[in-house]
Amino acid sequence: MKQSTDIAQMSGVELLGHYRDKRLSPVEVTEDALARIERFNPQVNAYCHVDAQGALDAARASEQRWLKGQPCGALDGLPASIKDLTLTRGMPTRKGSKTTSAEGPWEVDAPFCEFMRTAGAVLLGKTTTPEFGWKGVTDNPLYGITRNPWNTRLTAGGSSGGAAAAASLNLGVLHQGSDAGGSIRIPCAFTGTFGIKPSFGYVPQWPASAMNILSHLGPMTRTVDDAVLMLQTVARPDARDGLIGAPRNTPWLPHSTDLTGLRIAYSADFGYVQVDPQVARVVALAVERLAQLGAQVEQVDPGFSDPLEMFNTLWFAGAARLAGQLSPSQRALLDPGLLRIAERGERISLTQYSLALEARAALVARMAAFHERYDLLVSPMLPLTAFAAGHNVPPGSGMEEWMEWTPFSYPFNLTQQPAASVPCGLADNGLPVGLHVVGPRFADHQVLRLCRAYEQAFANHHPQAPIVGG
């Protein structure tokens, strides 16, 4: 029997093998995860709600299925978390906001949760998000600040910062994130974990996000194979999703680690981004390694100017939609930053919104043409490493909004392409750096192929406990 200290380092794929061989049970694994959440969560605030009894009940049911050799699905007995923006039966979905009620009832699962449960996942609880997921760091008026396990003085990123902190410490092996401007990839880069924003429509969303055509749901894990396990489970149609999905016959599992023949475009800065030299060095080394794995790499920019104004028009309009549903007394409870961009969104005209949609369509066409020449685009995930927690922008940077420090992420929410952050090393300051991998729409398998090959060839490591920052 494996000891609990070993369980803490295992991936979901490894756990399933131990369940199959009856060397571990889902109950042991769930108890271990809950014990570590109790120990570590006060330091990082990854979970805003833990359902210990519900998780243990689900684990016991899973244990009985495994003893009979009859697991109910691909995730049977694997401890998992759900972001606090996603409806979850039996658990509060407060969205990090004092404007929501604690009373419930919590009787409905969003499709993502429903698919996870049907596949046997053990839902441990809900992970922390900024209020309504509005920004690239994680703090909110209801639950406070989420901190980075690599240095608790620093932010874990956002908006899926709780999920990233949980993945970094292995507080559960499968974690759900959402990404409308970088919210899966930003915290994965800051915490040295893996996350993918799948092609828009692969994973159904209901209720619809206020950010609508920008928002994707996806996995956040320590390993690419664990993310694939999740995608194979949740990338399926749901009648409640009113937006058209992508074809779902893609072979998700990337079997080969050989990148021979893969045409990769490498852009160090997109032609307009100022990148911290220590980040640039780590990413440049990672790109050299891709060539060592057989990829054909060419340094070239994607050829578009910064689409920030276009993105902000759509993003601020979504914030206005959120705030417009609230009473004056509820609006007074909002994060001041969220209220500020909502008020900016309320001043956007229909013509401005329509022009942003037209510009978005042109960007989609440009990237489609780009990917006729290149299978994948790689770049830094972020131009900087994690900064002080409790701030929306790096202190002293002169920036006003979070979008300004994540210029590599939001273009691909506009284009709805699959995009992932895979850890590629540590900067000089000892903090994780992410390699951004972007594929053509519906070529998620190519993104996963590269990420898995890199992960298999170049080992990554994670903190075993939160590192208390000075």
Q: Does the active-site annotation cover 183?
A: yes
**Catalytic residue at 83?**
yes
Q: Which of 159, 168, 267, 409 is catalytic?
A: 159
> Secondary structure of the chain in the HEC alphabet?
CCCHHHHCCCCHHHHHHHHHCCCCCHHHHHHHHHHHHHHHHHHHCCEEEECHHHHHHHHHHHHHHHHCCCCCCCCCCCEEEEECCCCCCCCCCCCCCCCCCCCCCCCCCCHHHHHHHHCCCEEEEEECCCHHHCCCCCEECCCEECEECCEEEEECCCCCHHHHHHHHCCCCCEEEEEECCCCCHHHHHHHCCEEEECCCCCCCCCCCCCCHHHCEEEEEECCHHHHHHHHHHHCCCCCCCCCCCCCCCCCCCCCCCCCCCCEEEECCCCCCCCCCHHHHHHHHHHHHHHHHCCCEEEECCCCCCCCHHHHHHHHHHHHHHHHHCCCHHHHCCCCHHHHHHHHHHHCCCHHHHHHHHHHHHHHHHHHHHHHHHCCEEEEECCCCCCCECCCCCCCCCCCCCHHHHCCCCCHHHHCCCCEEEEEEEECCCCCEEEEEEECCCCCHHHHHHHHHHHHHHCCCCCCCCCCCCC
* Catalytic, out of 11, 62, 83, 135: 83
62, 168, 183, 409: which one is catalytic? 183
**Which residues are marked as active site?**
83, 159, 183
